[in-house]
Amino acid sequence: MTFDLNALEADYPLVLQGLLVTLRIVFYAILFGAVGSVVLCLGKLSGRGPGYRVAVFVIDFFRTIPEVVLIFWVYSCLPLLFGLRMSAEVSGIVALSLFVAANVAEILRAGILSTEKGQLEAAFSLGLPAPTIWRRVVLPPAVRRMMPNFVNFLTELLKASSLLSTIGVAEIVYQATVLGNETFAYLEFLTAVAVLFFMLIFPLSLYVRRAETRHFKRTSR
């Protein structure tokens, strides 16, 4: 077996096009998933009632099923159940949005619940109105605490998006596989994918590691 970089030369635009599709899908999944996550998080934070129970169920359900299964269900079952006609890419976005919503809801909730009791008591004792307490006292430090978890999840999401190749979405892994089929240069194309993913994800993990040591320094004083 040889490793022939020339194999990439002619077809790398297709790989990059796949990367673009990957990024587009991830972008929309984050956008829609973020909205869903806020709703789910508030539902779960409410602590009781039907909204709470629905939120808990949705979060647990979409966090526990394997992403491949979720993707396949959305792709094949939603059209059957609701008569919706969706392209592979759209159903991929729907599936990943659900994946984002459930997971980010938990990240948000953990961040909010880790607010120190003393911070809230200080805010209460000043007679601050509830919206101000949320916006100025609870959220800024909570978001800072959540950042490493967000970024960790983003790397998971990027990797999970490659599973969309199984339903024929022309994202990066799909393109690489097709090109591999055509040229028999599987190794080269898949390695190129690995390199691109590494380039995307490595800075993120670096950020998380730095943030964690920073946090450690701050809290261990």
Partner 1 sequence: MNAGATKLAIRCTDVVKRYGTFVALDRVSTTIATGEVVCVIGPSGSGKSTLLRTMNGLETIDSGTVDVLGHTLPGPRRELETIRRRVGMVFQNFNLFGHMTVRENLVLAPMTARGLGRAEADEAAQKLLTRVGIGEQIDKYPAQLSGGQQQRVAIARALAMEPEIMLFDEPTSALDPEMVNEVLDVMRDLARGGMTMVVVTHEMGFAREVGDRILFMAEGQLLVDAAPATFFTAPEDERQKAFLSKVL
Among 118, 199, 217, 220, binds partner 1 (CB under 8 A): 118
- What's the closest the beta carbon of residue 211 comes to partner 1, in angstroms? 15
Among the residue ranges 19-27, 120-128, 154-162, 191-199, the one whose residues contact partner 1 (CB under 8 A): 120-128
143-182 positions binding partner 1, by CB under 8 A: 144
Does residue 132 bind partner 1 (CB under 8 A)?
yes
63 vs 65: CA distance, rounded Å: 6
Does residue 125 bind partner 1 (CB under 8 A)?
yes
93 vs 89: CA distance, rounded Å: 6
Task: Report whether 199 contacts 18 (CB < 8 A).
Answer: no
Does residue 121 bind partner 1 (CB under 8 A)?
yes
Does residue 13 bind partner 1 (CB under 8 A)?
no
Among the residue ranges 8-16, 34-42, 139-147, 186-194, the one whose residues contact partner 1 (CB under 8 A): 139-147
Task: Give whichever of 83 and 118 is closer to partner 1, judged by the CB atom.
Answer: 118
Does residue 217 bind partner 1 (CB under 8 A)?
no
- Residue 100: count of CB within 10 angstroms of its CB: 27
CA 172 from centre of chain: 17
**Per-residue DSSP letters for 12-73?**
HHHHHHHHHHHHHHHHHHHHHHHHHHHHHHHHHHT-SHHHHHHHHHHHHHHHHS-HHHHHHH
Does residue 31 bind partner 1 (CB under 8 A)?
no
